[in-house]
Amino acid sequence: MSPAEYLEWERAQPGRHQRLGGAVYAMAGGSPRHNLLGARLLEQLGTALRGGPCRPFSSDQKIHVPATGDYVYADGIVICGPVHLHGDTRDVIDNPCVVVEILSKSTEQHDRGEKWEGYRGLASLADYVLVSQRLARLEHFAREQDGSWRYRVFGAGGRFVLASGAELVVDGLYDGVFEVPGDD
């Protein structure tokens, strides 16, 4: 399916679909834990970014990945400054500065592999965050000034600041999430 065919077709569908390597894949719903982590993430980002030039967007925001030609959805993104729409679309963005993926059994390999490889090609991307469903653990990839990526892991008690200025606090994100079912 060509990119134009995909975009036209996907807009008419009741569910969400990603275009990866020219193939189209339906997106399954997440576990209650996945969804709670997503809600907490947007809550933390929204509070931290309120009043500034950066804004969080939910998992319904489609992203164009120019390095691969893919159209994907992340579990959360942040855009700083104006929203840049892809081409003549009204629903696909080109400029996330933060991308967050909540790891699931079915998506973890892809989120760490091909999807991350494509995201690295986004000139606007400064932070990539992986959120575990199995334990209180955030993995943070931060783009350095020379274009390389620094990798750090944060567990219980950990906190770090994204390039957007938002602070992610591990304990706040995970408070009570292990009381609801996950995919582990």
Residue 95 lies in a domain: yes
* Residues with pLDDT less than 50, the chain: none
| Domain assignment present for 48 | yes
Does the pTM surpass 0.85? The reply is yes
Has residue 135 been placed in a domain? yes
Residue written as tokens 């620094």? 150
Q: What is the 8-class DSSP label of residue 142?
A: E
pLDDT digits (tens, 9 = 90+) for 65-90: 998 899 999 999 999 999 999 999 99
Rg for the chain, CA atoms, rounded: 16
172: containing domain: 31-179
For residue 14 the two structure tokens come to 């009741």
pLDDT number for residue 5: 84
- Indicate which CATH number applies to the domain containing 140: 3.90.1570.10
Q: What is the pLDDT of residue 14?
A: 83
Domain count, the chain: 1
DSSP string, 118-133: HHTT-TT--EEEEE-S
In angstroms, what CA-CA distances link 177 with 82, 84, 106, 135, 138?
33, 34, 19, 10, 14
Query: Residue 101: inside a domain, yes or no?
Result: yes
- 25 found inside a domain: no
Would you state the pLDDT for residue 1? 77
User: Is the residue at 47 inside a domain?
Assistant: yes
Q: Does residue 17 fall inside a structural domain?
A: no
Helix then strand then coil, % of the chain, to nearest 5: 25, 30, 45
pLDDT at site 68: 87
In a domain, 19, yes or no: no
